[in-house]
Structure 1
Amino acid sequence: MRVKVSELIEGCILQKDVTGMTVYPLVPKKTVLNPIHLDVLKRFSIDSVEVERTLVDGTLFKPQTTAEDASEQKIEEIPLSFTESYLKAIREFKQEFTKWQSGGAIDFMKVRSIIMPLLKKVIETPENLHTIRHYSNPKDYLYHHSVAVGIISGMLAKKLGYDVGIYNQAALGGMLSDCGMARIRASILEKKSLSQWEFQEIREHTLNSYKMVKDTSLLKPEIKLAIYQHHERLDGTGYPGGEKAEKIHMMSRIIAVADVYHAMTSERAYRSKQSPFKVLEMIMEDSFGQFDISVVKALFSLIGDLSIGTKVRLSNGEEASVIFTKREALTRPLVKLEKSEEIIDLVQNRNIFIEDVI
């Protein structure tokens, strides 16, 4: 909806780029507005902007007036967008996680009701995978991470050819892989840097998670194992058991890739979010031997395989269109700059990479 800048508050999410006098957006779409953004919009005399109806915390944004002067009743009758559905799921998952922190048991049917509609939406429109990383923030990272890992795990399992029953289970397993964090002291979860002993306590979340799910009949045994093993690495460098390839289940390998991908592309307390395309290259090159290559290739296909004509923003700020992709270099297609129409081969120009899909 279009809202007057004077009505905006911190946590609003832009639906469209806000443009200024240059070729670059003043504030790009998908940005979660903070006080600095609000000040910039006012200083540049921007009258109104397009924002989501939902704030980043999942609550409905209710400005006193909108540019269209739409009634609240009409707004609520419009079906939820993917972003709104996603943020609603984050709010619901946070409520469940808080119950677990107080010693409550997992309501598996409730968890299923949170993740399944989102997975269905992403299956219908895979491009939604590119949006979820924008809404994570350091304060609520754990909740965003759990929901996102569930979605990505389900999509990876589907991409690898598993049937609906299995990829739905993979989504549930991914979402619950960090449920054991609810048994870690809250003071540790909130810290930016950890001592050796605190880091060891964090590592215990895999065992905690397994204990929380082991007695349910709603998860398959291999999914329970995957929840326990999702930090294992094929070369034996992972935890909790330092297991190697032959002892790490395929479901564990799927959730492991989903987990590290979302962690690296999200804003953290100690690091800004990174480009999905740069992260894909890092997983393939820097972490070679740690992850199952078939799962990594499935992730490349889900995230990096852009169709001809896809609009992207490059790391140098330029906007471009994909004009040709190479199977052996999906993250570095041939692109044409929007303004100059110059054609750039990102394989030959390694200093430039795709920052985001727009």
Structure 2
Amino acid sequence: MQVHPKQLVSGCVLKDAVYGKTNHPIIPRQTVIDQKHMQVLLHFGIESVVVSDMLDNGERFEPQKITETQDEDEAKYTMTLPFETLYIQAVKQYKQIFTKWQSGSPVVMHEVREMIMPLFEKIDDVHLDLFLLHRFSNKEDYFYHHGISVALISAHIAQKLGYEKEWIQIGLAGLLSDCGMAKIQMTPFHKTTQLTIEEYEEIKKHPTYSYKMIENISSLSKDVKIAILEHHERLDGSGYPLGVRDDKIHLFAKIIAVSDTYHAMTSERLYRPKQSPFKVMEELLRLQHYKFDHQVLQVFVQSLMNYTIGTQVQLSNGKKGYLVFIDEHDPTRPMVRLMENDEIISLKDKPTVFIEDIDTH
């Protein structure tokens, strides 16, 4: 009989070998299934297997149905989990999915959606914390944190730009923009030094690989596919892989470009320490009109204005204080009341001092 891997139980006997993308079977025929085999089948995205009607112990195998009610109950339970738990789960799932892509498996959209949609459902509740997603990350698994974070930040910016329907597709584009890294022959994920010129040239191929991996997926719009191809293009033509300029770059790609750069610069890497979100934002603003889209950046920066007066911050000089005034024209340089003596300082007047961290609790 043919069943889904989720219906298997220990003792099931495979009648047919299970193959992935190669001529060698993942699991040979006549294998007696145990928990480890079930995990392997799910890991490789196998949709069905053929097993004997009888278990290894001689008992009849009666597969249980996967009901809609079970799926609904699972979805309801998922939505009760806190954002951080869902985020960590998504990072682990993304790592597993990416490993399958490295083995030659195609992008399966229902699998991608199941991973990221619970986080998209909570995006309105945690939009301020999107500036601080780097806190969850670690340098060893940075790449997988980066994929999930770029998806969330891209979806957030899209919402703020007024994309009431397309924001989910833009978030998916952010997630899939680096799927082509699975096709890179070298393994840059664990390097403790910066890339060589040759390695960087190889990395620059990943947007093209990403595009090729998703170009035939009907559930993704043409705009999303173009955005995935163009997410490393820059306004001045210095980007890759096409080297196109300004109005030739799709707006969706410009959104991902800001999200990708912001998270990368604020995260700790094996070869580089993390930087302050406010310092990174200042650097991005300095590069607007040259590298990054002005409209996209302004919408992203304006989200900083949502930090309420009284929010506790830590400055780069080691001092702590509270926000007392945020200038909408210069939100990364607010006025801060120092905790040590109640002195109010304006960061506009202190260019070498910046906000190092934010206490959101």
TM-score by length of 2: 0.75
* 1:276–1:303 Cα contact (<8 Å) kept: no
Secondary structure of residue in 1 paired with 2:337: strand
Cα 1:246–1:120 change in 2 (3 A) is: same
Alignment pair present for 1:244 and 2:261: no
Q: Deviations over 1:300-335 (max 9, x none)?
A: 012455221211111122221111111111011111
Q: Output the aligned Cα RMSD.
A: 1.8
1:222, distance to aligned residue in structure 2 (A): 0.5
- Could you tell me how far apart the structure 2 residues matched to 1:119 and 1:281 are? 27
Aligned to 1:105: 106
Whole-angstrom CA distance in 2 between matches of 1:247 and 1:130: 28
> Where does residue 171 of structure 1 map in the other structure?
171
CA distance in 2, matches of 1:317, 1:148: 28
Aligned residue in 1 for 2:4: none
In structure 1, the residue matched to 2:331 is 330
Residue 232 of structure 1 contacts residue 240 of structure 1 at CA under 8 Å; is this kept in 2? yes
- 1:57-136 matched pairs, under 5 angstroms: 79-136=80-137
Q: Which amino acid aligns with 2:105?
A: G
Matches within 5 A, 1:294-313: 294-303=295-304, 305-313=306-314
Matches within 5 A, 1:188-207: 188-191=188-191, 192-207=193-208
**Per-residue CA shift, 1:252-276, capped at 9, x if unaligned?**
1111111111111011112111000
Alignment coverage as a number of residue pairs: 282
1:304, 1:331 within 8 Å by CA — same for their partners in 2? Answer: no
Distance 1:320 1:229, change over 3 A: same
What secondary structure is seen at the aligned counterpart in 2 of 1:96?
helix
Deviations 1:159-199 (A, max 9, x none): 11111x20000100001100000111253443333332221
CA distance in 1, matches of 2:187, 2:126: 38
Partner of 2:233: 232
Larger Cα-atom Rg = 2
Give distance in 2, aligned partners of 1:288 and 1:306: 26
Unmatched segments (≥5 aa) in structure 1: 1-75
Farther-moved stretch of structure 1 (186-195 vs 218-227): 186-195
In structure 2, distance between residues paired with 1:159 and 1:77: 26
User: Comparing 104-113 with 191-200, which one deviates more in the overlay?
Assistant: 191-200
Distance 2:306 2:331 in 1: 6
- Amino acid paired to 2:149: A
Residue 344 of structure 1: how far off its partner (Å): 1.0
Report the identity percentage: 44
Cα distance in 2 for partners of 1:78, 1:105 equals: 28
List runs of 5+ in structure 2 lacking aligned partners. Answer: 1-76
Q: CA 1:125–1:195 in structure 2 vs 1: closer, same or farther (change >3 Å)?
A: closer
Which residue pairs with 2:293 in the alignment?
A: 292
Q: How does 1:13-28 map to 2 (within 5 A)?
A: none
Residue 180 of structure 1 corresponds to which residue in structure 2?
180
Change (3 A) 1:147 1:333: same
The question of whether the paired residues in 1 share the 8 Å contact of 2:285 and 2:297 is answered with: yes
CA distance in 2, matches of 1:196, 1:249: 28
TM-score normalised to the size of structure 1? Answer: 0.75
In structure 2, the partner of 1:255 is 256
